[in-house]
Amino acid sequence: MLGRVLQRAHFTERAYITMPQKDFTAHPLRVFASYYKPHIRLFALDMFCALVACAADLIFPYATRYTLNSLLPDKLFGLFFAVMAILAGAYVLKAVCKYVITYLGHLMGTRIEADMRTDILTHIQTLSFSFFDRNRTGVLMSRVTNDLFAITELSHHGPENLMTSLITLLGAFAILCTICWPLACVILAVVPLFILFTIHWNGKMDAANAEVKKSLGDINASIESGISGIRTAKAFANEDAEADKFKAANERFKDSKKNWYKTMGVYHSGIEATMSLMQVLTIAVGGFFIMRGRMDYVDLITFSLYVSTFVRPINQLADFIETFTDGMTGFKRFRDIMNTQPEIADKPDAVTLEHVTGDVEYKDVSFSYADGVPVLEHVSFTLPHGKTLAVVGPSGGGKTTLCQLLPRFYDVTAGSVTLDGRDVRDVTQQSLHRNIGIIQQDVFVFADTIRENIRYGRPDATDEEIIAAAIRAEIHQDIMAMPDGYDTFVGERGVMLSGGQKQRLSIARVFLKNPPVLILDEATSALDSVTEKHIQASLDELAKGRTGIIIAHRLSTVKNADLIAVVEDEHIVELGPREELLAKNGAFARLWQAQDLS
């Protein structure tokens, strides 16, 4: 799913969704708490049921002491069985509450996780190309899946365990004080040791958990790369090399997990030692008080039961800290992405492009990536509406980058790019992309049907319009020869289609979109010569009355271009009609002769 979203972010028809109104720069706990608001009723029910279950646990030891001290010695057997019936009812109610906690509580956690996943995927779609240049898909998938999965447990069990633990601790301690307050204070003295131990090892667990999540992201990236590139790996007999890459990532994951489990082992053993110490202290000190006549056996039994009740929330707190550490580590990584701002963003006063005619102008444009290496320098040209510009030149000269500046996939470093006289930085990206159609060299086909892949060009298109677009793209006959026609499933990344079919499907999308400006990035590079001629005729028809920019290595495909720009060494070295450039006998003429087109 993430791969589909990321491809949408790279495609001109990308979705623009209103982001949730949350301040992700605020304190993590405040941001986290804001996700409970839409599910406040479920949360309140979950907490109420947890409170009832907690009360049932507190009642039992006190009722036991009451029956042993008063009811049985006084032979109040009727009242004794009445109390037992009440206790049985309380535990039935506790069982019902446990069901609610387990079912509805986890449902609430899942909904919160789903809300966060929606937010992060929505936000990812707003990020600029440069973000995806720096981040691998597998790592981002780990952020969206594994990191958020831990949040389900935290959002459900976190508040519940914290509340019930604190109430049980305070309630049990209050009752212990009524039985024998000196012994209660001895038991309470152990709690600060637990708190200090927990604080110390919580930091270590947090660091170890972060390393686990990072290594898991590397594994996901390795798996995504290995599966996506399996055909290339097989073609070069490099299966062993790919396996070695994965093994290296897997070893790093194992080492990080080893450190995590080692840290967790020390933590849990310390907790276990603390709880055992409480039991020993209870018997030792309680026995001493019995010797002195300050307690009786019933009180010691009751005290022991309450210490067990007292120990359980300590164990819950330990579980809470582990869940909190795991969940908040994932939530911090979630916030890192949510706090990443798109480098390409609409201005507050950006206008919506309407009734676009297609006049394009590059004014002294320069561009370089983040590393500062120049890609284009001082590029200028004017392309009136309805005209076609062919961009040619050696690979790596900046042809594709030049075209990506018009739909504002990247912002110019200097100069400006205008459409109908408006700087593209002054208009909304949505309206800009709506008016530009792109057929890319690297065609992405979604794992869906032929029909839905073509419909992606215009989601509200009818089946008749989809078929008409396919006919114009010269792919209709191929589709009808497939087992299920337009309902044929094309497989992951269109694996069931040939390269030419994928390219023609992409062309059909733009036929369906029917924009006033076209950018063709090696649009016919994967087609055979016969099909290319048919497609070229269709593209020429589509280009009539529209502004077109064509990137091409095959100069035969740009014979009808009104202007040709030769891009070399970050500059436009020649610009003009084909016959004029051939007459100059310069860079274009050399390319023309090299392809034996004279």
3-state secondary structure 113-147: HHHHHHHHHHHHHHCCHHHHHHCCHHHHHHHHCHH
**DSSP label at 440?**
-
Instruction: Please report which confidence band the pLDDT of residue 9 belongs to, taking 50, 70 and 90 as the band edges.
Output: very low
The predicted-structure confidence for 138-174, as pLDDT tens digits, reads as follows 677 777 777 777 777 788 778 888 888 888 778 777 7
Its pTM stands at 0.65
Least confident range from 103-112, 117-126, 381-390, 538-547: namely: 538-547
CB 206 within 8 A of CB 229: no
Q: CA 388, 399, 591: angle at the middle one, nearest 5?
A: 80
CB 191 within 8 A of CB 204: no
Average pLDDT, the chain: 79
Closest alpha carbon to 568 in 391, 371, 324, 351:
391
**Tokens standing for residue 191:** 């709690």
**DSSP label at 546?**
S
What mean pLDDT comes out for the span 306-315? 70
Map out the domains of the chain with their CATH numbers. Answer: 31-338 (1.20.1560.10), 357-435+519-598 (3.40.50.300), 444-514 (3.40.50.300)
Phi, psi at 421, each rounded to 5°: 80, -5
Long-range contacts of 122-125 (CB under 8 A, 24+ apart): 122/17, 122/19, 122/20, 123/19, 123/337, 123/338, 123/340, 124/2, 124/5, 124/6, 124/9, 124/337, 125/5, 125/8, 125/9, 125/14, 125/15, 125/16, 125/17
Residues 143, 149, 154, 155: is their CA dihedral positive or negative?
positive
CB 584 within 8 A of CB 574: yes
CA distance readout (Å), 280 to 23, 272, 287, 513: 49, 12, 10, 77
**Tokens standing for residue 587:** 């860079």
Least confident range from 101-115, 233-247, 435-449, 453-467: namely: 233-247
CB 137 within 8 A of CB 224: yes
* Residue 551 three-state SS: strand
Closest alpha carbon to 304 in 49, 68, 50, 52:
68
Report the 10 Å Cβ neighbour count for 373: 8
The predicted-structure confidence for 334-389, as pLDDT tens digits, reads as follows 888 888 888 888 888 989 988 888 899 999 999 988 767 888 999 999 999 889 99
What mean pLDDT comes out for the span 16-26? 60
**Tokens standing for residue 105:** 């509580």
Report the 10 Å Cβ neighbour count for 361: 17
